[in-house]
Chains A and B, each alone.
Chain A
Amino acid sequence: QVHLVQSGAEVKKPGASVKVSCKVSGYTLSELSMHWVRQAPGKGLEWMGGFDPEHGKTIYGQKFQGRVTVTEDTSTDTTHMELSNLRSDDTAVYYCTTSGEDTALAAFAYWGQGTLVRVSS
């Protein structure tokens, strides 16, 4: 069973960067393909980026290209998502998610609890 625990809520000013963490347990990070999805208040889910095992690299959503960076620390089984040049419309709950131990599963079976990032001057 995969368990994902995310870092706490953040408040940032416009133009700043935020780094959200997601610690994996139950499996090692290297066994999983991790993704990041966000949800603005009252809005739908939006895929930001994640690891594509077929191509062996992290793919980013076009909307976030150049502003988002996903990194992995296999020594602590923690993945990080950093979003730069924050705007007010980046205010959202950010989730880490994964298909789990079956990396061939094309779906997001496990989710972190979410991290609220509020961007306000």
Chain B
Amino acid sequence: QSALTQPASVSGSPGQSITISCTGTSSDVGAYNYVSWYQQHPGKAPKLVIYDVDSRPSGISNRFSASKSGDTASLTISGLQTEDEGDYFCASYTTSNSWVFGGGTRLTVL
């Protein structure tokens, strides 16, 4: 199972919006609505910010939104804040009953 494809980095200024893409195949992202997104700060464990393509866990800001079209999922963060800076990973359940992560995207808030 190959890793999902994410851009290596994205950046934005405070208050702006950014979108991170996550491209898979018909065997993972395109197969189920089981795409999730994780935020990770340096030296910390990942934190779930989106599940089931576009649902936010309790306590996650509504500045985080997500969607999916075909084999590509997207995470949008609006009203960027300095605390949003970090690494973001997508993940998907697969038709092999396994899980696959994206390579990760480094978000820099300028």
B residues 12-66 in Cβ contact with A at 8 Å:
32, 34, 36, 38, 45-48, 51-52, 57
CB contact under 8 A between A109 and B97, given known A44-B89, A44-B104, A61-B1: no
CB pair A112 B1 closer than 8 Å: no
- Option from A47, A109, A114 in Cβ contact (under 8 Å) with B48: A109
CB pair B36 A106 closer than 8 Å: yes
Q: How far is the CB of B17 from chain A (nearest CB, A)?
A: 23
- Option from B47, B48, B97, B101 in Cβ contact (under 8 Å) with A46: B101
Q: How far is the CB of B46 from chain A (nearest CB, A)?
A: 6
CB pair A114 B99 closer than 8 Å: no
CB contact under 8 A between A107 and B91, given known A47-B98, A52-B97, A55-B97: yes
Q: Does A9 contact B (CB under 8 A)?
A: no
**In the complex, what distance in Å separates the CA atom of A55 from the CA atom of B57?**
26
Nearest residue in A to B43 (C-beta to C-beta)? A114
CB pair A50 B104 closer than 8 Å: no
A residues in contact with B89, CB < 8 Å: 44-45
CB pair A35 B99 closer than 8 Å: yes
Which residues does A use to contact B, with CB under 8 Å? 35, 37, 43-47, 50, 52, 54-55, 59, 61-62, 95, 97, 105-109, 111-114
Q: Could you give 19 example pairs across A and B, Cβ below 8 Å?
A: A43-B104, A44-B3, A44-B89, A45-B91, A45-B101, A47-B91, A47-B99, A61-B1, A61-B99, A62-B96, A97-B46, A106-B34, A106-B36, A107-B36, A107-B91, A108-B36, A108-B91, A111-B45, A111-B46
